[in-house]
Structure 1
Amino acid sequence: MTFSLHIDSTSPQRSTLHLHGRLDAMTFGEFDEAAAPVLHGMAEGGTVVLDLSALVYISSAGLRSIAKIRKSMRARHGHTLLLHPQPQVRKVFDIVKAVPVSEVFSSTEELDQYLDRIQRKIVEGDEDGD
């Protein structure tokens, strides 16, 4: 199985990247190259959602790619959120503690509830939103 990426760019504030297949030493470069323009187009405080529902395998190279996205978004005071990780992929994140549990969501509804809470806190005057 190879890797493919589908990108939904709804706005500079929120883009969703759908990862399919294997993100490993053979495919991470393709992912990094395809994700770069999305990251450059993200606004300050934006959110990148990585939909992992079709990602069946991730290696340390894939973890590094996701870490680079997280670092890039943090530099812009933004967020990187993971959606629908397969059990085996989630286990890798759990083992290496690569992503805080608060940034991994099992459903779109759970993600939307989280985003709603963040926005509500900002409107209510808690600028950090966390």
Structure 2
Amino acid sequence: MSLQIRIEPAARGTRRVLLEGRLDTHTYEDLDEALAPLINPRLHLLVLELSGLEYISSAGIRSILKARKALVEHGGKVLVVNPRPHIQHVLDMVKAVPLNDIFASTAEADAYLDALQRRVREGDAGGDAP
């Protein structure tokens, strides 16, 4: 099985990337190539939707870590949404993504993003920035 990657249009410094199939030794380069042009200082949040991911290997995890490291360097963040239980277990074991950046559902991640946007807007209006 291969890896299908769908990148949704940008929205307020956020990109959503949906993955289906296998993220492994044979497909991680496809993800690296797809993410490379997205990762820049204007990208604040990369949301990886993993509900369609069947399998992840250490090469796939390195790909996620590489994206996370690149975003963190300029204050960005990677969120993981809807990982299947066996994928979540692997991510938990290797601590590829902090546990508070993994969401069980898109609705849960959207609520987090809405709260984050509210804090940013309030910070722009003279309140405390996040």
Per the normalisation by structure 2, the TM-score is 0.88
Is the partner of 1:37 in helix, strand or coil?
coil
Gaps of 5+ in 2: none
1:13-24 aligned at under 5 Å gives the runs 13-24=13-24
Q: How far is 1:12 from its partner?
A: 5.9
Partner residue in 2 for 1:29 = 29
* In 1: Cα distance, 2:89 partner to 2:2 partner: 21
1:1-130 aligned at under 5 Å gives the runs 1-11=1-11, 13-40=13-40, 43=42, 46-122=44-120, 123=122, 125-127=127-129, 129=130
Structure 1 ranges of 4+ moved more than 6 A: none
Q: How far is 1:17 from its partner?
A: 0.6
* In 2: Cα distance, 1:85 partner to 1:126 partner: 33
Identity among equivalent pairs (%): 42
Number of corresponding residues: 126
Q: How far is 1:4 from its partner?
A: 1.3
* In 1: Cα distance, 2:86 partner to 2:104 partner: 13
Q: How far is 1:5 from its partner?
A: 0.5
* In 2: Cα distance, 1:37 partner to 1:62 partner: 18
Q: How far is 1:71 from its partner?
A: 0.8
Is the partner of 1:11 in helix, strand or coil?
coil
Is the partner of 2:38 in helix, strand or coil?
helix
Gaps of 5+ in 1: none
> What do you get for the CA RMSD once the two structures are aligned?
1.6
Per the normalisation by structure 1, the TM-score is 0.88
The answer to whether the 8 Å contact 1:3/1:20 transfers is: yes
The amino acid of 1:24's aligned partner reads D
The amino acid of 1:43's aligned partner reads R
